[in-house]
Copies of this chain bind each other. A is one copy, B any other.
C-alpha cells in the first residue's frame, strides 16, 4: 500500500500566505489500480503565483512531473514521466481519461536530449505557453516596437522578453536584484532596471522617452499605472498577472485589471479623429441604412448661432436627446 504525503490548507489564505497556513498530512491510496488508472510518484513540482487566487475545493493546485510507478492505462507505460495536475502530493492514482485540476489532461513528457523534464513545467510548460500565446499571438509585436515587460526575470517574463527581441522589438525589462538584471542583459534585453532602485515612472522616462507600444503586465499596481501614462498610439497592454494585488482582499482592490484578466476581456479605446480616411466609405454605408429605415436618426435642434454656447453646456446636463445640432 502506498501512503501519499499531501500539503493542505485548512482555510482559504488571508493576506500574504504564511508557513503556518500549510499542513502536511498522509493519505492512504487504493491497493489496486482500475482500468485506465496509473499510480504516479512526483519528481518535480511547479509553484506559481496563481495558486494564491485559485485555491480549489480539491486542495492546493500545482502541476508536477511524475514517474509512472504502475499502470493500467494504454499509452501511459510504467517508468515514463507524465505531467499531472493533482495538487501538492507525493503520490496519486489518476484515471488518464478524466480531467485533472483546472481541466488539465495527463500528458507524457517526451525525452529530449539535453532538456530536463522540469522544463515541461516552465519554459515548455504553462509559463512558456502563456508567454508564447499571450505575447506572440495577441500583442502583434512588430520590429521597432518598444516593449516593456514587468517581472522580466520570472518564468513568463523572461520568455516574453526573448520572444520580443527575436521579433525585432526594443525590450525593456524590470527585475528586483542586480543578479537578475545582469542575467536579463546577458539574454539580450536592451534596457533593464531594478524596480527597487528606480521607479517605473523614472525608468520609463529614461528608457522609453517616446512611449511604449507593448506592455506585458505580470505585476499590476503602480507599474501598470506608470505605463498607462506612457502609451503610444495603438499600444497593446496584455494583462497576464497582477501579483501586486493577489494578496489583497478582493474588496480592497478597485483594480480594473484583475477584472479584465479574469474575464479575458478586451478593452480598447477608439478615437474617431484618427480615422478620417474611413469617413467616405462608412458614410456611404450609413446613408444606405438610414434610407432603408434600418437606422433612425434623432436630433435636438437649437435655433440661433447666439445659442451655441448654451447648446454645448447642455451636453453635460444630459439635456440633449440624440444629436445636438445648432441651426443658424
Judging by beta carbons under 8 Å apart, are B158 and A322 in contact? Answer: yes
Judging by beta carbons under 8 Å apart, are A124 and B47 in contact? Answer: no
A30 adjacent to chain B (CB < 8 Å): no
**Which of B5, B267, B283 contacts A267 (CB under 8 A)?**
B267
From A31-39, A69-77, A198-206, A301-309, give the one contacting chain B: A301-309
Question: How far is A268 from B134 in the complex, measured between Cα atoms in Å?
Answer: 9
A318 adjacent to chain B (CB < 8 Å): yes
A1 adjacent to chain B (CB < 8 Å): no
Interface class of chain A by DSSP: mixed
A57 adjacent to chain B (CB < 8 Å): no
Residues of B within 8 A of A177 (CB): 318, 321
Question: How far is A307 from B165 in the complex, measured between Cα atoms in Å?
Answer: 36
Judging by beta carbons under 8 Å apart, are A282 and B325 in contact? Answer: no
Question: How far is A63 from B124 in the complex, measured between Cα atoms in Å?
Answer: 55
Residues of B within 8 A of A127 (CB): 323
A58 adjacent to chain B (CB < 8 Å): no
Counting chain B CB atoms within 10 Å of each CB, the highest count among A240, A247, A269, A313 belongs to A269
A80 adjacent to chain B (CB < 8 Å): no
Judging by beta carbons under 8 Å apart, are B45 and A328 in contact? Answer: yes
Judging by beta carbons under 8 Å apart, are B270 and A305 in contact? Answer: no
Question: How far is A290 from B24 in the complex, measured between Cα atoms in Å?
Answer: 36
A53-92 contacts to B, CB under 8 A, are: 62, 88, 90
A12 adjacent to chain B (CB < 8 Å): no
Residues of B within 8 A of A233 (CB): 263-264
A311 adjacent to chain B (CB < 8 Å): yes
A158-194 vs B, Cβ < 8 Å mask (1 yes, 0 no): 1100110010000000001101100100010000000
A29 adjacent to chain B (CB < 8 Å): no
Report 26 cross-chain contacts, Cβ distance below 8 Å, ordered by A residue: A24-B306, A42-B305, A46-B325, A47-B312, A47-B324, A48-B315, A48-B324, A49-B315, A52-B316, A62-B308, A88-B308, A110-B287, A119-B299, A120-B283, A132-B282, A155-B322, A162-B295, A176-B318, A177-B321, A228-B260, A236-B266, A257-B267, A260-B269, A262-B269, A264-B270, A266-B268
Besides A45-B328, A90-B328, A260-B268, 13 new A-B residue pairs in contact (Cβ under 8 A), listed by A number: A5-B305, A45-B305, A46-B324, A47-B326, A121-B323, A124-B287, A128-B282, A132-B286, A133-B282, A155-B324, A177-B321, A180-B321, A233-B264
